[in-house]
Structure 1
């Protein structure tokens, strides 16, 4: 994390003054503020099912808290902050990427391993290659040598093994080789009715339906594409779904 902090410092151009070790009196005000936030925003202990949604809610609550009066200066904290902003340095035009970069070797299927338990797909043509991977708090992205992202995944956590598949590249691969349909992870993720309908298609028909799934996923998203195609399967019009 020291490397990320140094990049953060360089990006925004601020100076660092460290406190002395074992000298808590030098940062008592900071400790008090931490205690204030803990008592007012995290008691009772919240249950979080979506970290990003919780963080957005937390930011709104913090901004609302700025409307209270400063304990010493007798003015709203939000107004004092606006005064402080007049002396700030200008911010860079681009925001800071809070992430770390690693080099990871892909396996024969173009997948790579992060955090010891979690596999992510790049693309089959990148099998057996070393890729630069950007790891953020919520996302994992492998990059091609030209700097273009190959795929994008929600970052997984926990001790259980996970296998994250990027739908766009997987569908593109299936369009090139529909015979791989039976063993694909996308097939396993489909609703039962839709999976059975697609299993019964001839190769040419299956390729057309996969193309539709690919197009709808790009136009909307994968879940929306599945909902539309599942409804079409129920109506017996899967091959006419566009």
Structure 2
């Protein structure tokens, strides 16, 4: 269970318990709390920032490590081998540039096992600008197998278009949905940007399913056309020049 979900559940339990009579006073817990609020000082106008601050230098792939190298976070290929500023909260790792402008935001990782948080959107956007450098950037080796397999079937002129589409899909519903679309495209033997767009709409767009169209009684039932069309060709040839 996530910490935020647990806190919401705990608050709900506290609210349900608020009508219980206090063990020492003849008041409910809610009434005692209301009395306490009358004697509380107002909260300060300036928010008290509990986040941690720091800097870290990224590696050749625009990534950095926390927790003694156990947790890996991505930034972007544009910010490779540079120092970036970090803002650490209990739930997020916020990466900022030298002007403290946010570059990317990650869910904070916990635990002593090796984990990584990868945001592919900055990488896909950067690569779409220079698609010819895809297989020489080092980022290509980090891509999932299905995505690399898809790019192997793309022409040089199509690679840039595909990267732009993948960036668009990732920005819309996340990298997993883009990767799932690529997997579907591989099943159909597709290797172009338009196919990715169409498959994405088919999988994720909210397209209503049309009900079967009822036929009037006067319309005769037609059997399904056979897959072998030799008989149909013979029928056309009997027509002579009329059907030529």
Alignment of 1:159-238 (within 5 A): 159-178=112-131, 179-181=133-135, 183-184=138-139, 188-189=143-144, 192=146, 195-236=148-189
Task: Provide the residue aligned with 1:153 in structure 2.
Answer: 106
Task: Provide the residue aligned with 1:28 in structure 2.
Answer: none
Alignment of 1:59-138 (within 5 A): 59-92=11-44, 96-117=48-69, 118-138=71-91
Cα distance, 1:186 vs structure 2 = 8.3
In structure 2, stretches of 5+ residues that fail to align are 198-244
Task: Provide the residue aligned with 1:21 in structure 2.
Answer: none
Instruction: State the superposition RMSD in angstroms.
Output: 2.9
How many correspondences in the alignment? 192
Aligned partner of 2:6 among 24, 49, 54: 54
User: Is this contact kept in 1: 2:124–2:167, CA < 8 A?
Assistant: yes
Cα distance, 1:213 vs structure 2 = 1.4
Determine which structure has more spread, i.e. the larger CA radius of gyration: 2
In structure 1, stretches of 5+ residues that fail to align are 1-48
Normalised by the length of structure 1, the TM-score is 0.66
User: Is this contact kept in 1: 2:61–2:139, CA < 8 A?
Assistant: no
Cα distance, 1:60 vs structure 2 = 2.1
User: Is this contact kept in 1: 2:22–2:29, CA < 8 A?
Assistant: yes
Distance 1:79 1:172, change over 3 A: same
In structure 2, distance between residues paired with 1:106 and 1:187: 16
Distance 1:75 1:119, change over 3 A: same
In structure 1, distance between residues paired with 2:105 and 2:91: 11
User: Is this contact kept in 2: 1:139–1:153, CA < 8 A?
Assistant: yes
Task: Provide the residue aligned with 2:235 in structure 1.
Answer: none
In structure 2, distance between residues paired with 1:94 and 1:224: 40
Cα distance, 1:93 vs structure 2 = 6.0
In structure 1, distance between residues paired with 2:87 and 2:180: 31
User: Which runs of structure 1 show a deviation greater than 6 angstroms over 4 or more consecutive aligned residues?
Assistant: none
Task: Provide the residue aligned with 1:239 in structure 2.
Answer: 193
In structure 2, distance between residues paired with 1:110 and 1:57: 38
Give secondary structure in 2 for the equivalent of 1:134: strand
Distance 1:231 1:65, change over 3 A: farther
